[in-house]
Structure 1
Amino acid sequence: MNVIAVIPARYNSQRFPGKLMQLIGPKAIIRHTYDNTLATGLFSKVFVVTDSPLIYDDIVSNGGNAIMSINEHESGSDRIAEAVADMDVDIIINVQGDEPFVRKEPLEKLIKAFTAADGHNVQVASLMHIITEPHLIHNPNQVKVVVGLNNDALLFSRSPIPYHRDTTIPATYYGHIGVYAFRKQALMNFTKWPQTPMEKIEKLENLRYQENGVFIRMVLVDFKGVGVDTPEDLEVAKEIYKHSN
């Protein structure tokens, strides 16, 4: 399979404008993400797609691949779809631009979802990890997911799911990690569908797949990642970087 990684990179994040150009050590967040994705060696091509000349120049001037986004977009998926529309690819991995410490193992597991025994049935896949901390289970910024017996997602929600009605039965809570893999046609279909009711209510674009009958295969990993959504997250990322170098 021809597998590529695309990193959507919007400059004006609502919660933390310009965050992708914030420095961790000598490099901007977006370049850490790009370099670490490239270093996995899993992809025939890695590139950033962005609406920002600053981000584009930072990647290209340091020898990387970047594409300027032509249109305004509601989501990262739409931005990626524009970039890959004319490319001959099989699987597209969407790596979030604000995950500077992305690693090989979870991305490799995600790709294997398409090569497993029933992989021909998988159109979209994503990552999840087990969460046990009550503050995360109840935090609406930590999206939760419940899965069926074959690990296809049944529902994503910002609410704690499942509801633990019978406390004599142990409940496992899975946190969604926003890294996706798509077959190209599934991604192109997504961009043609209007926003769906649950998607609008929860503000979760992945629900658009489910409301249109496309299951998302979830892959369990022990990688939690360090997404930089706030200035406080940036300070945490800087500490991690300082102690790992």
Structure 2
Amino acid sequence: MTETRILVLIPARMAATRLPGKPLLGIGGLPMIIHVLRRAEEARIGRVAVATDTPEIAAAVKAHGGEAVMTRPEHPSGSDRIYEALRTLDPDGKTEVVVNIQGDLPTIPPADIRAALALLDDPQVDIGTLAAEIRRDEEHTNPSVVKLIGSPVGGQRLRGLYFTRATAPYGDGPRYHHIGLYAYRRQALERFVKLPPSVLEQREKLEQLRALEAGMRIDAAIVNSVPLGVDTPDDLETARRILANS
């Protein structure tokens, strides 16, 4: 798959309640959204743009040499935001794959971005994502840690069967922390955003269950660690320490 057929989109907005204005908060002299932008560019898989409803975010991205696309403010999810951005940036439908990277993952390894994309080399896969084995005891029971339940299909790969906030699967063996980065085939993204919210999606508060309930296939690449998601002031300080030492 050629780079010209791949669009990497980073949804970013200012409305975080626990850490207001977080895309523009400084980490090592740069706004956080620029760190995410740089990780996406370093993956070298295709065109990269930030999708936002905030002029200040767009201005910061452009000031640092990046591309930004404005989207409507009322989108219910990042998936809806990137679909609008896709249609704006590629009205002729040439893009075949859209990679969605959350705007609060400043430490995401570029190799992990490439790993999610590589899952789409299998024509049976609609959506590629990431998972890492849970290593900390408290995360097995923490509902904020989303677990991916899947069947192994190769050495470092799972076919997703379910996503849950519960402690699952039961019994001995590894459990996997789902990492919310997605590589969508264009047709899969278009189908997904046109589907109504599903029963299990609304119960678990997990958007990806809508795709599974509709019969779409999600595979996950198993990676070594979970990238830091910046949601609180403590997370921000941790990100600053990590990137200061990188």
Superposition TM-score tier, normalisation by shorter sequence: over 0.9
Distance 1:97 1:33 in 2: 6
The CA deviation at 1:41 is 1.6
Hey, what does 1:229 align to over in structure 2? Answer: 231
Answer yes or no: is 1:34 the counterpart of 2:37.
Answer: yes
Hey, what does 1:134 align to over in structure 2? Answer: 137
* Contact 2:124/2:217, CA 8 A, preserved across alignment: no
- The one of 160, 167, 171 equivalent to 2:167 is 160
The CA deviation at 1:242 is 2.0
* Contact 1:106/1:223, CA 8 A, preserved across alignment: no
Output one character per residue of 1:112-153: Cα deviation in whole Å (capped at 9) or x when no partner: 1112xxx11111110000012111111111100110243211
Runs of 4+ in 1 over 4 A off after TM superposition: none
Hey, what does 2:116 align to over in structure 1? Answer: 110
Unaligned runs of 5+ in 1: 165-169
- The one of 4, 17, 25 equivalent to 2:28 is 25
* Contact 1:142/1:158, CA 8 A, preserved across alignment: yes
Which amino acid is 1:155 matched to? Y
Distance 2:179 2:85 in 1: 23
Output one character per residue of 1:199-239: Cα deviation in whole Å (capped at 9) or x when no partner: 11111100100111112111111131111011110011111
Output one character per residue of 1:30-88: Cα deviation in whole Å (capped at 9) or x when no partner: 01100121122221x00000011111100012211000103510100000011112242
Unaligned runs of 5+ in 2: none
Distance 1:114 1:197 in 2: 27
Hey, what does 2:15 align to over in structure 1? Answer: 12
Q: Which deviates more, 229-238 or 106-115?
A: 106-115
- The one of 166, 188, 193 equivalent to 1:191 is 193
Give the RMSD, CA atoms, in angstroms: 1.2
Hey, what does 1:100 align to over in structure 2? Answer: 106
* Contact 1:93/1:182, CA 8 A, preserved across alignment: yes
Answer yes or no: is 1:202 the counterpart of 2:204.
Answer: yes
Answer yes or no: is 1:125 the counterpart of 2:128.
Answer: yes
- Give aligned-pair identity as a percent: 36
Answer yes or no: is 1:50 the counterpart of 2:52.
Answer: yes
Distance 1:114 1:33 in 2: 22
Q: TM-score, normalised by structure 2?
A: 0.92
Question: For residues 174-185 of structure 1, what are the structure 2 equivalents within 5 Å?
Answer: 174-185=176-187
